[in-house]
A and B are shown apart, each in its own frame.
Chain A
């Protein structure tokens, strides 16, 4: 990179498989990037930091430790992040819970936690960075959503609802900055990802399962092209087109 100072990328949920794959991919493509890695677990987040520095991230990259998914913590942690990187170039929001629909149905506290983590805090983070990028006049917000947000389905509608709601936020921010060439939002909607988060799923594997590296590649390209929304991989766009188009009586006969 022929820049004086390296690009700064803030990652929220830096130990997630997709976040790690994306950070590595960015280094491969762009060289020395400065990362601010936010995560809950200090040892794990620092291991990711060492990995990225070993792979060529800027030596001044650093970590911020805290519970990103807790709405009460957002303001304090945002202060910490922006203190160490006052004018970041990009923010990737990659943390989240998958939740287990049956368990959620049986527990209101679990449901509240899922909503707070995946939606309430996430929307707050998006706003924090929208504001930050307004002040700076430039910046890119990248959010990992999910195809599950496209239609409520019995098997995971609470999770899906959080991702669907987050999509509305991303859409809105994109609209808000429609006139600005320099402030952008990209929402990435992966299908099944082969990560530790999905290891327990029965029958995992097969053509619809993508690696975190694949999601990272798609995300990287979408960000460069300033796409507002992208399915990862592309096939999901058509799958969801069909799923959304199913008439209710047909939908209700399925087990999706």
Chain B
């Protein structure tokens, strides 16, 4: 392998062996043999869109899954769909959109695999109505290092099912995933972008828009105190008739180089945030294709190199409704004071969690996602301050986006982690898991 395997944040650079899960591993009946060889521990690695180290394994092996991408069964009457876990949502849309079906829940990038969507029990702009991805998964097949292959569902091997949704790839290698697609009448959405003056405005808009299937807000996290929480609130719903046209990947462009770090400073950040808020599209109301609506960042391949050589951290917290307002305000205040704001800060009200996932990140509440260029100590100190605020408000942070949290913080956020530890396959481990389970 010429290029080392990195995660999306590009912070962790590890020595690890790399293997590829072949496309026909199932047909050959050798998935377990390929996945588990020798004594080294292994972790599945999908499209590497997790920001931190959940899909990395320092000193061990990573198993790349995207080639494992067969469609196994598709029922266009009911929308029940089954495919190998390496299939990406980008490929999925090309198959389902022309037939009037869409993935029930999608994260902010289409370059994730089904296995990754399960292992992080991902959520999207429709969480308040549709819950997480796991809510729509009907069955999955799990392969363990002892050679056992288990079909898991709410009825069958239900404990493994619940621990695999949000299970960070630790319960076994997921061979395939079966889930329920959502019917669409068109690939377009009707979208409204609304300027929001402050945090109170955000909560009002969220409440007022509860009937809209998709809602989210981009926040200007460098806004001064009296405008704290200002941003652009976006809501959308699929239109009732129109074309059923999949996206076109050939239209994307590539971030041309790794940005020199001197370009990442408070001035450029402020400028970016101001420009973003004032750009012509920021007040757009009208019909939009699903690709720019759900995946604006996918237009720029390798945009993560924008953050320079040292990479960047994400921090996504969810805080229960009761303490949501104060919690989010406190987080925004800490960021503004630190002067280390992020380009892309995203606020979202989440609904009740109906995914059976034991370790799933989502719960009813408000989430705030941020990214920070890696400036070493300074950044880590800020992240720790943010963690403390999250804990104080009864919240937790998202492992898919984490590259820094301490073991004690993780264990306080997720006391149920011990259940996952007991269901973990003894041959599977990740840098993340060792970091958060070995006491600091």
List residues of A whose CB falls within 8 A of some B CB: 15, 17, 20, 28, 31, 41, 43-44, 46-48, 50-51, 54-56, 196, 199, 203-206
Cβ of B420 < 8 Å from any Cβ of A? Answer: no
CA distance A20 to B27 in the complex (A): 15
Cβ of B89 < 8 Å from any Cβ of A? Answer: no
Measured between beta carbons, the chain B residues less than 8 angstroms from A41 are 27
Measured between beta carbons, the chain A residues less than 8 angstroms from B28 are 43-44
Measured between beta carbons, the chain B residues less than 8 angstroms from A55 are 71, 74, 95
Measured between beta carbons, the chain B residues less than 8 angstroms from A48 are 70
CA distance A196 to B23 in the complex (A): 9
CA distance A69 to B74 in the complex (A): 33
Contact of B27 among A43, A203, A206 (CB under 8 A): A43
State the Cβ distance, B356 to closest chain A Cβ, in Å.
Answer: 26
> Judging by beta carbons under 8 Å apart, are A205 and B3 in contact?
yes
Contact of A50 among B20, B70, B95 (CB under 8 A): B70
If over half of B's interface residues share one DSSP class (helix, strand or loop), that class is named, otherwise mixed; here it is mixed
> Judging by beta carbons under 8 Å apart, are A15 and B1 in contact?
no
Measured between beta carbons, the chain B residues less than 8 angstroms from A47 are 24, 26-27, 70
Q: List 25 A-B contacts (CB under 8 A).
A: A15-B24, A20-B23, A28-B94, A28-B246, A31-B98, A41-B27, A43-B28, A44-B24, A47-B24, A48-B70, A50-B70, A50-B73, A54-B71, A54-B72, A54-B83, A54-B95, A55-B74, A56-B95, A196-B20, A196-B22, A196-B23, A196-B67, A199-B20, A204-B2, A205-B2
Mask of B37-78 contacts with A, CB within 8 angstroms, 1/0? 000000000000000000000000000000100111110000
List residues of B whose CB falls within 8 A of some A CB: 1-3, 20, 22-24, 26-28, 67, 70-74, 83, 94-95, 98-99, 246
CA distance A206 to B1 in the complex (A): 9
Measured between beta carbons, the chain B residues less than 8 angstroms from A51 are 70-72
CA distance A145 to B256 in the complex (A): 33
> Judging by beta carbons under 8 Å apart, are A203 and B2 in contact?
yes
CA distance A203 to B2 in the complex (A): 6
If over half of A's interface residues share one DSSP class (helix, strand or loop), that class is named, otherwise mixed; here it is helix
State the Cβ distance, B154 to closest chain A Cβ, in Å.
Answer: 24
Pairs A-B, 8 closest by C-beta atoms: A205-B2, A54-B71, A54-B74, A47-B27, A51-B70, A51-B71, A43-B27, A44-B27
State the Cβ distance, B24 to closest chain A Cβ, in Å.
Answer: 5
CA distance A134 to B67 in the complex (A): 38
Q: A50-B71, A51-B72 are in contact. List 20 more A-B contacts (CB 8 A).
A: A15-B24, A28-B246, A44-B28, A46-B27, A47-B24, A47-B26, A47-B27, A50-B70, A50-B72, A51-B70, A54-B71, A54-B74, A55-B74, A56-B95, A56-B99, A196-B23, A203-B2, A205-B1, A205-B2, A206-B2
State the Cβ distance, B21 to closest chain A Cβ, in Å.
Answer: 11
CA distance A31 to B74 in the complex (A): 16
Measured between beta carbons, the chain A residues less than 8 angstroms from B27 are 41, 43-44, 46-47
Measured between beta carbons, the chain B residues less than 8 angstroms from A46 are 27
Which single residue of chain A is at the shortest CB-CB distance from B249? A213
Measured between beta carbons, the chain B residues less than 8 angstroms from A43 are 27-28
State the Cβ distance, B25 to closest chain A Cβ, in Å.
Answer: 10
State the Cβ distance, A6 to closest chain B Cβ, in Å.
Answer: 15
Which single residue of chain A is at the shortest CB-CB distance from B75? A54
Which single residue of chain B is at the shortest CB-CB distance from A55? B95
CA distance A205 to B83 in the complex (A): 27
